[in-house]
A and B are shown apart, each in its own frame.
Chain A
Amino acid sequence: MSEGHDGEHVHPESGEELSVYARRAQAIEALMVEKGVCSTSEVDQMMNMVESRSPSDGAKVVAHAWSDPEFKARLLADPRSALTEIGYSLPDTTPHLAVVENTEQVHHMVVCTLCSCYPRALLGRPPDWYKSFAYRSRAVVDPRGVMREFGLELADSVEVQVLDSTADLRYLVLPRRPAGTENLSEAELAKLVSRDCMIGVTDPHVPEGVAAS
């Protein structure tokens, strides 16, 4: 099952009427298995992997990159092998991951205008708004307006780079480490990293009293 497209893998549930989409997904899966494109166990394996991943996995990766500059360099250069180092092995069947780093000069924000491509192998399922027509169209036309709605006002001196994930790569944004977090442990840092800042629509939020003044 292709990661880039929304497919719900639904097993028949007794006594429940399946939606048209669930029936369509079942029919497509049955056809793909029949034609030998993939096996039921491969579909299940992929489903389980995506369901077992969540933004907290991405947050751990980001916090580790903040804490270990050498790991960060490897993560940016070769995400797949860097992730394997820390226990996140991405199966070969998942699309390649690219990691882009936000800096003082450049802020990245990710969208897939064509469908809903998203680094599911690391972050799990995308939020519904990521798949909405409103986000997919406005993210490219007015990214700063979208970020403002997520509470982020960027200075004009920061260059906004929107990445339209149209092809074979999935993007993870490595946000900037917030100021005043020098004394936080990796686990504490991970709590600051939300799903939305790994998409790039906002920055990590530091609750009052957490950062050193």
Chain B
Amino acid sequence: MRVDSPSHHYRTPTYIQGKTGVVVAICGRYRNPESLGHGGDGMPEQLLYRVSFAQNSVWDRYRGPSGDKILVDIYEHWLDPVGV
């Protein structure tokens, strides 16, 4: 996940930024809320992915079992490939 705090409207929670997750679904293409939020047309549309993160990789003191996940819908331009 990219780390960023743009001055405009965005819908990517900060707790997930900088974390590494796994894409589990492609949710379709949607107009970009970062443009829509400011009177723009939201184009070009962005691919939306459902990304799964292990809870214990997001929170240092997560109290549940290691299998627990947090799934967040993330637009493509917030994702960076994991180094191969």
Contact = CB atoms under 8 A, between A and B. Distances in A.
A152 interface: no
A196 interface: no
A148 B34 CA distance: 37
A63 B71 CA distance: 26
A157 B64 CA distance: 10
A164 B64 contact: no
Contacts of A85: none
Interface in A80-130: 96, 98, 113-114
A114 B64 contact: no
Contacts of A168: 27-28, 30, 33, 48, 73
A165 interface: yes
Secondary structure class of chain B's binding surface, majority of residues: mixed
Contacts, number: 73
Given A113-B13, A167-B48, A159 B27 contact: no
Nearest to A113: B13
12 contacts: A98-B27, A140-B15, A140-B70, A156-B65, A160-B55, A161-B68, A161-B69, A162-B70, A164-B16, A167-B11, A167-B74, A167-B75
Given A114-B13, A159-B65, A161-B70, 9 more contacts: A140-B58, A140-B70, A157-B65, A159-B67, A159-B69, A162-B68, A162-B69, A164-B70, A167-B33
